[in-house]
Amino acid sequence: MNPMNKYEKLEKIGEGTYGTVFKAKNRQTQEIVALKRYRLDTEDEGIPSSALREICLMKELKHQNIVRLQDVLHSDRRLTLVFEYVDQDLFHYLESHKNTGVNPTKVKKFMYQLLKGLAFCHAQNILHRDLKPQNLLLNANGELKLADFGLARVFNVPLQSYSNEVVTLWYRPPDVLLGNKRYTTSIDIWSAGCIFAEMATCEPLLPGIDEEDQLLKIFQLVGSPTEDSWPGITRLPRYSNISGFPPKPIANVVPSLNTTGLDLLLKHLKSNPSHRISAEEALLHEYFTSS
């Protein structure tokens, strides 16, 4: 059988600039899968770099909380990545719970799984660089899985210079917004903190309109940074003086989190990236052991 005919498309479940995602069925095993199809428009372009990066990284990332790449199919006109099928994403889950909220026990469970997957990535020296509810999948058993590694990359020590055109705006940390290109795992930790708050409230924490507005919303929440609290901030390429904001009481912003949950959240949302908690440290936080 032609490998491209191995799967029967059932329905389209997503579309982006790269191509289309389908729900499909393996004709031989009847297993339901997700097909991520990249369009290969011209011979000159070849396989998109994001697809090559995703394939290479996904082959290394075998973990319960990371979506599994099962197969790669390639023809002259099309590249198809075959993933395990997962029922829904966190974005749609939160949308469906806006009226009732998410049970605090489930928020805790989802956050723990997010950090487990993230800690595994970081232990392999891999940055996700695009954490957001749309890229976190939830299966029928309540398992959360990191997905869409198209912007992910391996990081090295000492740090190299990376692109700061990464991370969807609402989940992008202030250091990256200010032009820092020498970031490390802290880039994902900030995003995880924003998602943590969103799970607890079913509303985005920092829905900025543009980069300037995003920075304003961040500093209105966590307070204006200074050279004392964040040495080197004034030397960042896009630095502008946003002063005069004291930190907001986080309990007023995310009232459904308990004291230990708020403490963990604040440890993610540090303006100075060197002050953010690591995923490994976060997994040991009292929030996950207290009732």
What is the set of active-site residues? 130
Residue 22, helix vs strand vs coil: strand
Q: Which tokens hold the place of 6? A: 């191995």
Distance between CA atoms of 187 and 149, rounded to whole angstroms? 14
At which residue do the structure tokens 């799970």 appear?
A: 199
Distance between CA atoms of 267 and 278, rounded to whole angstroms? 9
Distance between CA atoms of 187 and 118, rounded to whole angstroms? 11
Task: Indicate left, alpha or beta for 286 from its phi (over 0: left) and psi (-120 to 50: alpha).
Answer: alpha
Give the other-Cβ count within 10 Å of 220's Cβ: 16
Burial 25-64 (b: 16+ CB within 10 A, else e): beeeeeeebbbbbbebeeeeeeebebbebbbebbeebebe
Residue 262, helix vs strand vs coil: helix
Question: Which residues lie closer than 8 Å to 217 by C-beta, 6 or more apart?
Answer: 206, 207, 208
**Strands 7-15 vs 19-26: parallel, antiparallel or unpaired:** antiparallel
Distance between CA atoms of 271 and 276, rounded to whole angstroms? 8
What sign does the CA torsion over 112, 113, 116, 119 have? negative
